[in-house]
Amino acid sequence: MQNFGRNRSNWRKTQLKALMSKRNKILRARHPPAILGMVLPRLERQIAALQQELVDIDALRAGQRRQEQGETSAGYLKRTIQARQAKRQMGSIRHPTTDVLCSTPDTLQSACCTYYQNLYTAEPVDETAIASLLANIPASTSLPDNIRMPMTAPFTLEELQLGAKRAPQHSSPGLDGLPYSIWYLVLQHPEYQALALQVFNEAFS
């Protein structure tokens, strides 16, 4: 998939350069207006389509929020991408266990793996305290079963598809999330439906 994306990106840039060169040659040839009116519109539509694809890709790379607000400035998107890439680079960090300063790729990777392993490792909880808290919830603050059960029932595939379809085209679940338009396509794909349904239900269970 990554190779296809890179090849497609290179093809798009090469094709755009070739179309622009062709357009310039036609203009320099000083053809009659009638011929220009027949040739240029189609050529310019192809150029505009490729340019729009490049802007859309840069918008995705720059972040969903600006895309949702309709930002299409190529200069702004380029600066945003560069700023995001700079923020992702870590020169050195301290190992969460040994407190040693790590700066090489291997030690940085080890420190990050240890940090996230500790972060996502479940800690034991006091089941007795949980049971005591639940037992002392006043009945007046609890929902009746006929209201609670539909609200806590697992999602169905149809509900997820309908929700993604109704969402605005240029919107996403969060700043780091995929646009709903892409989620809708994922939910339509037979190979990903079961996995997507599992992810949503586990997230809200």
Expressed in angstroms, the distance from the first to the final Cα of the chain is 32
Q: Is 135 exposed, middle or buried, given 0-12, 13-18 or 19+ CB atoms closer than 10 A? A: exposed
What is the residue extent of each domain of the chain? Answer: 2-62, 92-121, 152-204
Query: Which pLDDT belongs to residue 91?
Result: 80
The answer to whether the predicted template modeling score (pTM) of the entire model surpasses 0.85 is no
The torsion of the CA quartet 72, 78, 81, 83, rounded to 10 degrees, works out to -120
Over residues 108-160, the pLDDT tens digits come to 999 999 999 999 888 888 999 999 998 898 888 888 888 888 888 999 999 99
Backbone φ and ψ for 101, nearest 5 degrees, come out as -75, 125
Over residues 56-94, the pLDDT tens digits come to 777 666 655 555 556 556 677 677 777 776 666 778 889
Give 102's strand partners. 93
**How far out from the chain centre does Cα 108 lie?**
26
Kindly indicate the confidence band of residue 173, based on its pLDDT and cuts at 50, 70 and 90. low
Query: Which pLDDT belongs to residue 27?
Result: 80
Q: What is the secondary structure of 106-117 as a DSSP string?
A: HHHHHHHHHHHH
